[in-house]
């Protein structure tokens, strides 16, 4: 089986390859093609993968190319993990927003919209190319903002594109472990949009254990999201939100913490990765060890500003010890390729799952996965406040998709202005001014 990775020079590709190396079963991936627009980054990552494969007899064969069509032909699976504008673009997204007093995170609020406006046209072009050259391939989208980008691609690929994120699985695992339950045997009742969902129950052998957790402040203090949101607020919600909801529920504090930070997350990662890819130009650099050290530093500083704002202490990434998004991707590929029926939390089209959204709206929900793809499981309705957030943000995503299609500046202003974390239409206009100035890739936003 051939897997093609778009954005193959990306920093997290070795995580995926590491997961593939541990898979020795029938029907596994035997060939990996890395595609990237940047040959230097491709070469750097290829060196890391080569070291990972040392001594493993059945390691998937590697090809690296800057030719998209060559990469796509014959692919059974395509992972899309691109970053339009690079990490410098991410840092600019944050800066423009923070200077106007609003959030610039890469997936939430103004920053997510700016990143979406840059990424959607590119993702759509890729989707068109895949539909033409590898119409049978399954496409797994990792590219953020993952829900929005998956929806854009689904307009060309239908249900053959599935979006993934590791935060719901990680959250479910952390809750299960806090309760002393086996994560593998727990059914997690989670639903929403990507980076905008809630765990409403954790069922083991037919019993919901979440009420016990919510009633116990001490237990709530034992895991990341419990500390981030605080026991009182979680009890009020009657659910445990995805960590990204910290940006909504504690928006002022999060914005202030990011404004006061010495460097934004994007700027930190931009500098960190410049260092990594720079070192990799020297053939004497030990590739795997250097990559691993850089990755550990990235993991340890993840969402540090939010934790500071909440007084939540050091990062605890239990729940990720069995692997993050690469494991979700591998489980998904296995289920589809070998018809191993399983359930996974994925980004797919809504159909009739959430009554407030139309059938084509991409949501994040537990899905039944087999050779026929991923199908969302029936879910209880969300409470009104969650319906409000989910529909408001879906409205924003639709405005982004409209703007990407029409090239209309007014549609872009509408996307920003409708976001619950942008508090004025005039701020939205200034955001569009700031972003079009910062990003040549947004020059397509013209006219009304
Ligand atoms: C989590 C999120 C991803 C994000 C990743 C890395 O896993 O779910 O969407 O890409 O963190 O975040 P970072 O800030 O390190 O780029
Ligand atoms: Mn994610």
Question: pLDDT tens, 53-99?
Answer: 999 999 999 999 999 999 999 999 999 999 999 999 999 999 999 99
As a whole-number percent, the residues of the chain with pLDDT over 90 amount to 93
Task: Please report whether residue 80 resides in a domain.
Answer: yes
Q: What is the mean pLDDT of the chain?
A: 96
- Strands 196-204 and 207-208, sheet pairing: antiparallel
Residue range of the domain that includes 8 = 2-162
Work out the pLDDT band at 40, boundaries 50, 70, 90: very high
55's torsion region: left (phi>0), alpha (psi -120 to 50) or beta? left
Ligand 1 centroid–CA 149 distance in Å is: 15
Residue 344 belongs to a domain: no
Which protein residue has the closest C-alpha to ligand 1 atom 13? 302
Which 8-state DSSP code applies to residue 365? Answer: E
Distance of CA 294 to the CA centre of its chain: 20
Q: Is ligand 1 within 6 A of the CB of residue 301?
A: no
Pocket test for ligand 1, best of 173, 273, 302 (most atoms within 8 A of CB): 302
Amino acid 199: pLDDT = 98
CATH number at residue 28: 3.40.50.720
Please, which residues have CB less than 5 A from ligand 2, an ion? 165
- SS3 category, 412: helix
Q: Is the CB of 106 inside a 6 Å radius of any atom of ligand 1?
A: no
Residue 321's pLDDT is 55
**With bands split at pLDDT 50, 70 and 90, how would you rate the model's confidence at 447?**
confident
Q: How many domains does the structure of the chain reveal? A: 1
What pLDDT score was predicted for residue 440? 95
Residue 411 beta carbon below 6 angstroms from any ligand 1 atom: no
CA distance 177 to 133: 44
- Span 127-149, pLDDT tens digits: 999 999 999 999 999 999 999 99
Residue 394 predicted with pLDDT over 60: yes
Which of 85, 167, 265, 326 has most ligand 1 atoms within 8 Å of its beta carbon, as the pocket-test mutant? 167
Q: To test ligand 1's pocket by mutation, which of 7, 90, 104, 107 has the most ligand atoms within 8 angstroms of CB?
A: 107
Q: How remote is the CA of residue 144 from the centroid of ligand 2, in Å?
A: 7
Neighbour tally for 184: CB within 10 Å: 8
Nearest CA to ligand 1 atom 2: 167
For residue 150, tell me if it sits in a domain: yes
Whether 361 contacts 394, CB under 8 Å: yes
Probe residue for ligand 1, chosen from 108, 165, 300, 305 as the CB with the greatest number of ligand atoms within 8 Å: 165
What is the pLDDT at residue 91? 98
The residues near 163 (Cβ < 8 Å, ≥ 6 apart) are 140, 141, 142, 146, 147, 149, 150, 194, 346, 347, 348, 362, 364
The number of the ligand 1 atom at minimal distance from the alpha carbon of 107 is 9
For residue 308, the model assigns a pLDDT of: 86
Tell me, in angstroms, the distance from the centre of ligand 1 to residue 147's CA. 14
Question: Cα of 132 to ligand 1 centre, how many Å?
Answer: 31
Nearest by Cα to 8 from 36, 50, 32: 36
Looking at all shown ligands, the one closest to residue 194's CA atom is: 2
How close is the Cα of 341 to the center of ligand 1, in Å? 27
3-state secondary structure of 180: coil
Ligand 1 site, residue 302, Cβ cutoff 6 A? yes
Residue 208 lies in a domain: no
Using pLDDT thresholds of 50, 70 and 90, give the confidence band for residue 172.
very high
* pLDDT the model gives residue 207: 97
Give 323's pLDDT tier (boundaries 50, 70, 90): low
Tell me the mean pLDDT in the region 363-373. 98
144 lines ligand 1 (CB under 6 A): yes
Flag whether 388 is in a domain. no
Task: Read off the pLDDT of residues 192-245 as tens digits, 9 standing for 90 and up.
Answer: 999 999 999 999 999 999 999 999 999 999 999 999 999 999 999 999 999 999
pLDDT digits (tens, 9 = 90+) for 178-207: 999 999 999 999 999 999 999 999 999 999
Q: What is the pLDDT of residue 23?
A: 94
Residue 342 falls inside a structural domain: no
Q: What is the pLDDT of residue 357?
A: 98
- Dump pLDDT digits (tens) for 259-307: 999 999 999 999 999 999 999 999 999 999 999 999 999 999 999 888 9
- Whether residue 298 lies inside any domain: the answer is no
Answer yes or no: is 134 within a domain.
yes
- Indicate which ligand has the atom closest to the C-alpha of 264: 1
Strands of 352-422, DSSP E: 362-370, 373-376
pLDDT of residue 105: 96
Q: Would you say the CB of residue 444 lies under 6 angstroms from ligand 1?
A: no
pLDDT value of position 317: 66
Ligand 1 in contact with 315 (CB < 6 A)? no
Spatial CA neighbour of 160 closest among 187, 197, 193, 132: 132
pLDDT confidence band for 322 (50 / 70 / 90): low
- Rounded distance from Cα 143 to ligand 2 centre (Å): 9
pLDDT of residue 121: 98
- Residue 2 is predicted with a pLDDT of 98
């Amino acid at each position: 089986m051939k897997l093609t990775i778009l954005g193959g020079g990306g920093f997290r590709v070795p995580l995926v390859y590491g997961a593939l190396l541990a898979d020795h079963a029938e029907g596994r991936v035997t060939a990996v093609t890395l595609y990237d627009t940047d040959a230097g980054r491709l070469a750097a990552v290829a060196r890391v993968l080569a070291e990972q494969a040392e001594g493993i007899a059945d390691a998937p064969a590697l090809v690296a190319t800057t030719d998209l069509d060559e990469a796509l032909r014959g692919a059974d699976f395509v992972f899309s993990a691109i970053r339009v504008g690079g990490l410098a673009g991410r840092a600019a997204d944050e800066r423009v927003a923070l200077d106007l007093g609003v959030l610039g995170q890469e997936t939430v609020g103004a920053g997510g919209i700016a990143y979406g406006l840059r990424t959607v046209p590119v993702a759509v072009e890729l989707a068109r190319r895949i539909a033409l050259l590898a119409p049978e391939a399954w496409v797994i989208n990792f590219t953020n903002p993952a829900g929005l980008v998956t929806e854009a691609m689904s307009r060309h690929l239908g249900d053959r594109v599935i979006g993934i994120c590791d935060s719901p699985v990680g959250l479910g695992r952390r809750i299960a472990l806090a309760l002393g339950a086996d994560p593998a045997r727990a059914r997690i009742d989670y639903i929403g949009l990507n980076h905008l969902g809630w765990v409403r129950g954790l069922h083991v052998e037919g019993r919901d254990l979440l009420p016990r957790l919510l009633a116990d402040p001490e237990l709530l203090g034992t895991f990341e999201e419990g500390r981030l949101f605080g026991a009182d607020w979680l009890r009020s919600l009657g659910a445990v939100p995805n960590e990204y909801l910290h940006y909504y529920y504690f928006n002022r504090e999060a914005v202030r913490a990011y404004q006061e930070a010495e460097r934004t997350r994007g700027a930190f990662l931009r500098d960190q990765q410049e260092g990594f890819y720079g070192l990799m130009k020297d053939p004497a650099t030990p590739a795997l060890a250097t990559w691993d050290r850089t990755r550990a530093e990235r993991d340890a500083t993840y969402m540090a500003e939010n934790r500071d704002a909440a007084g939540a202490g050091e990062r605890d990434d239990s729940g990720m010890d069995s692997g993050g998004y690469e494991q979700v991707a591998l489980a998904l590929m296995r289920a589809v390729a070998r018809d191993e029926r399983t359930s996974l939390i994925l980004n797919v089209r809504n159909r009739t799952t959430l009554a407030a959204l139309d059938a084509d709206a991409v949501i994040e929900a537990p899905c039944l996965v087999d050779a026929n793809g991923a199908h969302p499981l029936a879910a209880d309705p969300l409470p009104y406040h969650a319906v409000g957030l989910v529909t408001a943000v879906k409205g924003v995503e639709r405005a982004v998709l409209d703007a990407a299609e029409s090239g209309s500046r007014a549609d872009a202003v509408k996307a920003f202005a409708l976001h619950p974390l942008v508090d004025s239409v005039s701020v939205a206009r200034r955001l569009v001014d700031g972003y079009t100035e910062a990003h040549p890739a947004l020059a397509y936003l013209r006219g009304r």
